[in-house]
Amino acid sequence: MGQDAHAPGREIASASARDRGGPEELDLRGEVCPYTFLKARLALESLPSGAFLRVVVDNPTSARDVPRALATAGHTIIACESTGDGAWSILARRSPA
């Protein structure tokens, strides 16, 4: 990849996650709503139906609003958990097309 994995809006671990069957991961630390929701939605909708996306945010408002907005858009929220380092991990499943 060669890019800073913690730069806002950068995908992280997508190739290795895909290789081991895990979810795609999108690091949105440093971003704020509505950008966190928009980027998460675009990333999720670029995946095949039923695929999983883990979104990492460090903004309390995003941790609250991104799961609600993705669910409203028809996707399934599996979990939204604090990672213990000031960030939250949101696991979502893309809706059927």
The proportion of the chain whose per-residue pLDDT surpasses 90, expressed as a percent, equals 74
> What pTM, to 2 d.p., does this model score?
0.79
Model confidence pLDDT, tens digit, residues 33-46:
899 999 999 999 99
Alpha-carbon distance values, 51 to 14, 25, 82, 93, 96 (Å)? 12, 11, 22, 6, 9
- Tell me which of 9, 10, 14, 33 is the catalytic residue: 33
Token pair recorded at residue 49: 């139906």
Separation of alpha carbons 78 and 74, rounded Å: 13
Domains of the chain: 10-93 (3.30.110.40)
Residue 78 is predicted with a pLDDT of: 98
Give yes or no: 33 in active site: yes
Token pair recorded at residue 53: 């996306």
